Amino acid sequence: MRYLFVIISVFFWSAASFLNAQINLNFNVDKQPVWGPIGHDYVEYYYLPDIEAYYDVPQHRYYYYNNGVWIHSTNLPSRYNNFDYYNSYKVVINEREPWHNHKTYKKKYSSYKGRHDQKLIRDSRDSKYYIIEKHPEHNNWVKEKEHNKKPNQDNKKNNKHDKHDNGKNKK
């Protein structure tokens, strides 16, 4: 009987760990930039067809081709100073090191160059994006969360007073 209990416990622990890992790995809205497109709870990379570069969302890093090699940097080189993040198309790519398949992505998404019809996180009124610090509604969202916490704290104080009868309930 103990053996069966141990097996069942290990099974449930493993399943819970797996589900927790899946939840943690499949949600990174808070890491996405406000210039990113809406509709994605998890993003590894944006492919930027206008400049044929990649943006690593979790690491906040760019990958671009320079003199025959792929370079990574927290900033784009000066030749992209006029690149407009808010007015360019971003393709979500959830694969490791997508620049290794650059020829495929370049061909597949070449028609996206110059497109300006993507809805951005910055312009979204979906509250799931308010967690992003640079979202225009972030500060209001934080204030609302703080405000919603206060009544709960006040209720806890009131409950503490309710526990003491102050001599009202005499036996």
Task: Give every CB contact of residue 52 below 8 A, 6+ residues apart in sequence.
Answer: 64, 65, 102, 106
79 located within any domain: yes
170 located within any domain: no
Strands (E), 29-166: 45-48, 53-56, 61-66, 69-73, 91-93
Residue found under tokens 């919603």: 148
Owning domain of residue 94: 29-121
- The list of the chain residues with pLDDT below 50 reads 20-25, 162, 171
pTM, entire model: 0.72
Q: What is residue 26's predicted lDDT score, i.e. its pLDDT?
A: 62
1 located within any domain: no
161 located within any domain: no
Phi and psi of 8, rounded to 5°?
A: -65, -40
**Rounded (5°) CA angle 75-79-84:** 70
Q: What is residue 36's predicted lDDT score, i.e. its pLDDT?
A: 97
62 located within any domain: yes
70 located within any domain: yes
Q: What is residue 102's predicted lDDT score, i.e. its pLDDT?
A: 97
Count of domains for the chain: 1
154 located within any domain: no
114 located within any domain: yes
